[in-house]
Amino acid sequence: MDVKETIKSQFYASLEMLRNAIVKCPETLWTSSDYKTPFWHIAYHALFYTHLYLQPSTDDLVPWEKHKEAYRSLRSSEEKAEMMEPFRKDEILAYHELCWQQVEEQMMCIDLEAESGFDWIPFNKFELQIYNIRHIQQHTGELYERLGTREDIELAWVGMKQE
């Protein structure tokens, strides 16, 4: 078994589920203020941390061209909701594509036994990848729930990378 290939497959499955949620989200829900944190912001947050945690360290992150530092935290939604200009769906899908590419590029050279590279993450790179995938899935689950309960949209489970 190739551990890196397995990790990549699960990254791709998680990212595909997130992509499905983004694509299926109606415009009315994309920016709705009915929730503490808008749909677009949860999607951006999940992608930002996916991108970050695939890097060797914070210093190695080359931010996405449209990155806005204040948007990385979900707490900023409550504090600055009226001042935040939402990302459009096509912009978030472009960032998703960048993260998809980063999985392939970064997993090829990662030392899974090395330290995390982030001073707030107390475990090695192997566990960080599992943590990162769990983070994607947690937020994707939130978005699936919104789509299912509010919009009656059903989305499929993706178990592994689709060829």
Q: Where are the domains of the chain?
A: 3-150
3-class DSSP state for residue 109?
helix
Q: Between 152 and 44, where is the model more confident?
A: 44
Amino acid code (one letter) for 117:
G
The token pair at 89 is 């769906």
Pick from 56, 78, 33: nearest CA to 125: 56
- Whether the per-residue pLDDT at 7 is higher than 70: the answer is yes
Fold of the 3-150 domain: Four Helix Bundle (Hemerythrin (Met), subunit A) (1.20.120)
Bridge partners of residue 115, in order along the sequence = 124
Mean pLDDT across 143-154: 88
* pTM of the predicted model as reported, rounded to 2 decimal places: 0.91
Share of the chain above pLDDT 70, in %: 91
Whether 115 contacts 106, CB under 8 Å: no
Per-residue model confidence (pLDDT) at position 74: 83
Whether 87 contacts 40, CB under 8 Å: yes
The token pair at 49 is 């941390």
Confidence of residue 163 (pLDDT cuts 50, 70, 90): low
What's the mean per-residue pLDDT of the chain? 90
**pLDDT tens digits for range 73-122:** 887 555 555 567 899 999 999 999 999 999 999 999 999 999 999 999 99
Mean pLDDT across 31-58: 94
Confidence of residue 150 (pLDDT cuts 50, 70, 90): confident
